[in-house]
């Protein structure tokens, strides 16, 4: 079996005839940040729930600190779920007192910019502030490992950067971190990546390892809206970012023909593929 403080071996979870996670083997080592990537429905949250002992695997095994993920081992872990795990009708101070009390530690001191919100109901705070409170609650007992499920979702760029500073600081002190994200640029913040698609672990390692042999093409044209429409109608995996058009895993000659037939002048240039394009290719393959 693989090593690590958080690990799974051929773990599978079925819900009736639907397989949400399919024979996934993975691990998280102390002091590293592992990014778990995948589109909605890829199986990330189901895998996390099994790693935490909140959901029983249909087959395979998960271990937390070299044993089953029971209550005593989970006490050594910090967890921030997608819904943050905070009580919206309690104040910041009450939430921290409750969460830290379960670990038998004192509530952490609020950073200066949050001190004025101590007696504010969590539900009245901006999402970025709520996420910072969730991090404070998860880190107060100095966990050995962190599991963070979409910890930066829905917050502005500055708040995301601050949260990633916290994540990196935890890894630097030796904690192993497993973090899910749908922001592809955040993959660069991770030491290692795991890519899931349709319940399967389809890539792992560095960003280039995960992208593999996926190719991409950049399309440059003044008539970007018509070009996107023509390529989309042709059924190629096209992505529009602002007014930039990119197509994954498609022969440039095919794109030339589609655009020429539509009467759209454009240049087509092969470029390095991105994680988003790799995920698009996988999603399309699963739908076919």
In sign, the C-alpha dihedral spanning 131, 88, 39, 76 is positive
Domain count along the chain: 2
Domain stops at, among 184, 211, 238 = 211
86 and 177 share one domain: yes
User: Would 278 be classed as within a structural domain?
Assistant: no
Q: Which residues of 229-268 are buried (b: 16+ CB within 10 A; e: fewer)?
A: ebbeebebbbbbeeeebbbbbbeeeebeebbeebebebeb
Instruction: Give the pLDDT score at 1.
Output: 47
In sign, the C-alpha dihedral spanning 137, 140, 141, 144 is positive
Distance CA 216, CA 106 (A): 52
Instruction: Name the E strands within 121-214.
Output: 145-149, 176-181, 192-197, 200-205
Instruction: Give the pLDDT score at 162.
Output: 85
Distance CA 32, CA 48 (A): 17
DSSP per-residue string spanning 211-232: HTT-EEEEEE-S-HHHHHHHHH
69 and 163 share one domain: yes
**CATH number of the domain that residue 245 is part of:** 3.30.70.100
The DSSP H or E segment spanning 167 is helix 157-172
Distance CA 140, CA 109 (A): 10
Which tens digits make up the pLDDT trace of 169-226?
999 999 999 999 877 778 888 999 999 988 999 888 988 888 888 999 999 999 999 9
- Environment class of residue 284 by beta-carbon count within 10 Å: exposed (0-12), middle (13-18) or buried (19+)? middle
Residue-number span of the structural domain to which 239 is assigned: 215-272
**Strand-strand pairing, 33-37 and 176-181:** parallel
User: Would 66 be classed as within a structural domain?
Assistant: yes
Distance CA 280, CA 219 (A): 17
Distance CA 233, CA 148 (A): 38
166 and 259 share one domain: no
- Beta-bridge partners for 7: 27, 63
pLDDT less than 50: residues of the chain: 1
237 and 188 share one domain: no
Instruction: Give the pLDDT score at 50.
Output: 95
The DSSP H or E segment spanning 80 is strand 77-80
């Amino acid at each position: 079996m693989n090593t690590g403080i958080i690990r799974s071996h051929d773990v599978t979870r079925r819900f009736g005839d639907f397989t949400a996670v399919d024979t996934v083997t993975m691990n998280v080592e102390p002091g590293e940040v592992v990014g778990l990537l995948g589109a909605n429905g890829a199986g990330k949250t189901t895998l996390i729930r099994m790693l935490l002992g909140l959901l029983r695997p249909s087959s395979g095994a998960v271990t937390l600190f070299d044993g089953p993920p029971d209550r005593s081992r989970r006490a050594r872990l910090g967890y921030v779920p997608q819904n943050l795990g905070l009580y919206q009708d309690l104040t910041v101070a009450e939430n921290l007192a409750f969460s830290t009390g379960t670990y038998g530690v004192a509530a952490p001191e609020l950073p200066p910019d949050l001190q004025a919100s101590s007696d504010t109901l969590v539900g009245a705070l901006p999402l970025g502030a709520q996420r910072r409170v969730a991090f404070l609650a998860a880190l107060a007992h100095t966990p050995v490992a962190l599991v963070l499920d979409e910890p930066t979702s829905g917050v502005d760029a500055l708040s995301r950067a601050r949260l990633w500073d916290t994540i990196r600081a935890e890894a630097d002190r030796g904690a192993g971190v497993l973090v899910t994200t749908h922001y592809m640029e955040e993959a660069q913040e991770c030491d290692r990546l795991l890519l899931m698609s349709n319940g399967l672990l389809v890539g792992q390692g560095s960003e280039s390892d995960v992208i593999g042999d996926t190719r991409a093409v950049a399309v440059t044209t003044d008539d970007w809206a018509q070009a996107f429409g023509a390529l989309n109608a042709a059924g190629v995996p096209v992505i529009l970012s602002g007014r930039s058009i990119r197509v994954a895993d498609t022969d440039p000659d095919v794109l030339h023909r589609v655009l020429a037939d539509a009467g759209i002048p454009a240049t087509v240039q092969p470029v390095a593929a991105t994680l988003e394009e790799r995920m698009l290719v996988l999603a399309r393959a699963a739908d076919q």
